[in-house]
Amino acid sequence: MKKALDISKHQSSFNAAIAKTQGISATICRCAYGASKDICWDTFAPAVQVAGMQLGAYGFLTAHYTSKASNFAQAQAVMRQQVQTWINLCKAKGCQLLAVDQELEGGYTMLLVSKAYNTRLLQEAVAMIRAAGLTPMIYTGASWCLSYIDWRSIDCDFWVAYYPSSAAASDFTAYADGTFPGGQYGDLLRAMQAAGKLWGWQYGSTGHGIKYGAGSVNIDRNWIYKEDKMEFEPISGKQLVVTSAEKPACQAFASPDVNDPKYINLALGTYEIIAMGDSITIGGMTAPWLKIIVDGETWYCLALTDRCRIEDKPQAPAVDLTEVLAALARIEAKQDATDTKVQTVLGRMAAAGSALGV
């Protein structure tokens, strides 16, 4: 799990370096409201990059408002215009991650009351973003998602807002163990994670803005569960020791993702570790991803302590140089003796040859 913020012009200012020192890994900046660029995008986005945090963007979609369209075809046209604007803004800043923010502001009404039609609109938006070479995502509230989106049929990850009363004001302490609250919204988060589609959870929005360098009292805080790209550092001299082969099984995946459908159960024994990646928290345990070799193939294993451990590889026995030198000395002595005998024989043969006049 990583800590992330999301910001817009409502923060008025943002010191990204301060956020970075407070352990923030990613900041998602609003690039536009509808087709209008957020007035802080050109300032906030570069600052996030300079600070060394992951930069993400979100565009606030209004194509589903009755004030923007009166039928589905018009909503599609508005959506395409808005999404293309966001794509252009992201490409200009080198931002890879782009979220479609769909919700409904107070005082507005929704045109697409059908979940099926609204899902189609979002499917097309996601396809546009992916076709542009960017990573698409959908941001929405848990209630909105259940009412208006068939999230299982949309090919992208989700970033969900839900503020439990016990957690909304906490400062990255609530649910830091990777668990979720009870109730239908907690069930939604669990279902999305099980399906491999939960990118992040916006769990709180009040307070702590100043602490994270924002020019506002409040700031949105998010737990991020997925990495767009995990970096692995090569290591040597380490091995993975599997201590549990079942209940729980130690599993290796085709990618560093516990939801990857391609996986194997590792047998008891040792496996060579060739690289180590970031750590994630799952089931209350924090563990690093490992790149390992299994039967000559590369796999990825999460080093959960209830099923495996990391150890130093055994060193080859040290060679006793004294014995080696002594052996060489014996070989040289034998060689010298052999050479002497050969020379003696050759000398005798030469003498005999002289006597015979040969």
pLDDT tens digits for 249-286? 999 998 887 767 789 999 999 999 999 987 776 666 77
pLDDT of 162 above 70: yes
248 and 201 co-located in one domain: no
167 and 273 co-located in one domain: no
Separation between Cα atoms, residue 207 and residue 171, nearest integer Å = 8
Q: What is the pLDDT of residue 320?
A: 61
Last residue of a domain, one of 178, 204, 224: 224
> Which residue range is the domain that position 250 belongs to?
233-312
pLDDT of 343 above 80: no
Element at 76 (helix H, strand E):
helix 72-93
User: Contact at 8 Å (CB) between 207 and 217?
Assistant: yes
Is 342 within the bounds of a domain? no
- DSSP letters of 115-171? HHHHHHHHHHHHHHHHHTT-EEEEEEEHHHHHHH--GGGSSSEEEEE---TTTTT-S
245 and 117 co-located in one domain: no
Domain count of the fold of the chain: 2
Is 25 within the bounds of a domain? yes
pLDDT tens digits for 42-96? 999 999 999 999 999 999 999 999 999 999 999 999 999 999 999 999 999 999 9
172 and 254 co-located in one domain: no
244 and 109 co-located in one domain: no
13 and 84 co-located in one domain: yes
pLDDT of 358 above 60: no
Is 349 within the bounds of a domain? no
Is 341 within the bounds of a domain? no
218 and 145 co-located in one domain: yes
Is 169 within the bounds of a domain? yes
Distance between start and end Cα atoms, the chain: 95
pLDDT tens digits for 2-23? 999 999 999 999 999 999 999 9
Q: What's the CATH number where 142 sits?
A: 3.20.20.80
Task: Look at 341 and 77; give whichever has higher pLDDT.
Answer: 77
What percent of the chain has pLDDT above 70?
87
pLDDT of 353 above 90: no
149 and 275 co-located in one domain: no
Separation between Cα atoms, residue 270 and residue 290, nearest integer Å = 13
Residue identified by tokens 């075809």 is: 73
DSSP letter at 61? -
Q: What's the CATH number where 260 sits?
A: 2.30.30
